[in-house]
Amino acid sequence: MWHFIILVGILFCAYQAVRDKRLLVSAIWLAGTSALVAIMMYLIGAYQIAVIELSVGAGLVTVLFVFAINIAGDEPIPNLSFIPKWLARIFTVMAILLIGWQLLPLLDFPINLNQDAGFQQLVWENRKADLYLQVVMIFAGVISMLRLLTDEYQTRILHKEVQE
């Protein structure tokens, strides 16, 4: 019963995030989607990832979105897409059918709630390359964040100094 309620919540929040015209409200709906996905992960036994998703997906990313929207502003953009909406719907339905066809065999495998104790060993020892890659990505994110925080005035001063 709880799974079904959360499923409906996830799909409703995701649809509202796409449909709402105000970007700020859209970001809040996205946070709701993240929180419900985290609960779904918790219910299927992925406790550690559920906590990480809740803190990063519903927390950090939402703060970043709200911050960026406040800086960039919520400008009204005409509701015209590059491709006709009926064509977008056809593409979406085709993609859903394709994904569904690929995922259908997984229905034969019930979810196993048993935990193996190897998560930390797998992350810290067996997948070191991924770990280093994540460190590099986090540095890239920090540099981008600094760029995001640099305002236009400082950018102009920097450009003047470079030109001189």
Partner 1 sequence: MNISTSMIVLIAVIGLFGVGLYCLLITRNLIRLLVGLQIMVKGAMLVLVFVGQSQGQPSLGQSMALTVIVADTIVAVVGLALAVQVKRNVGTLDIADISKLKR
Using rule CB under 8 A, residue 160 touches partner 1: no
**How wide is the angle at C-alpha 123 spanned by C-alphas 112 and 105, nearest 5°?**
35
**H-helix or E-strand containing 53?**
none
Site pattern 43..82 for partner 1 (x: CB under 8 A):
xxxx-xx--xx--xx--xx--xx-xxx-xxx-x-xx-xxx
Using rule CB under 8 A, residue 88 touches partner 1: yes
Site pattern 21..50 for partner 1 (x: CB under 8 A):
--x--xx--x--xx--x--xx-xxxx-xx-
Looking at the Cβ atoms of 113 and 164, the one nearer to partner 1 is 113
Question: What is the DSSP code string of 4-44?
Answer: HHHHHHHHHHHHHHHH-SSHHHHHHHHHHHHHHHHHHHHHT
Looking at the Cβ atoms of 55 and 161, the one nearer to partner 1 is 55
> Which alpha helices (DSSP H) does 44-163 contain, by range?
47-52, 61-72, 85-103, 119-121, 128-149, 152-163
Q: Which of 32, 39, 96, 161 binds partner 1 (CB under 8 A)?
A: 96
- Which residues in the 112-141 window bind partner 1 by CB under 8 A? 112-116, 118-119, 121-123, 127, 130, 133-134, 137-138, 140-141
Torsion of CA 32, 24, 67, 150, to 10 degrees: 140
Using rule CB under 8 A, residue 157 touches partner 1: no
User: Judging by beta carbons within 10 Å of its beta carbon (0-12, 13-18, 19+), is residue 87 exposed, middle or buried?
Assistant: exposed
Number of chain residues interacting with partner 1 (CB under 8 A): 85
At closest approach, how far in Å is the CB of 161 from partner 1?
19
Looking at the Cβ atoms of 38 and 161, the one nearer to partner 1 is 38
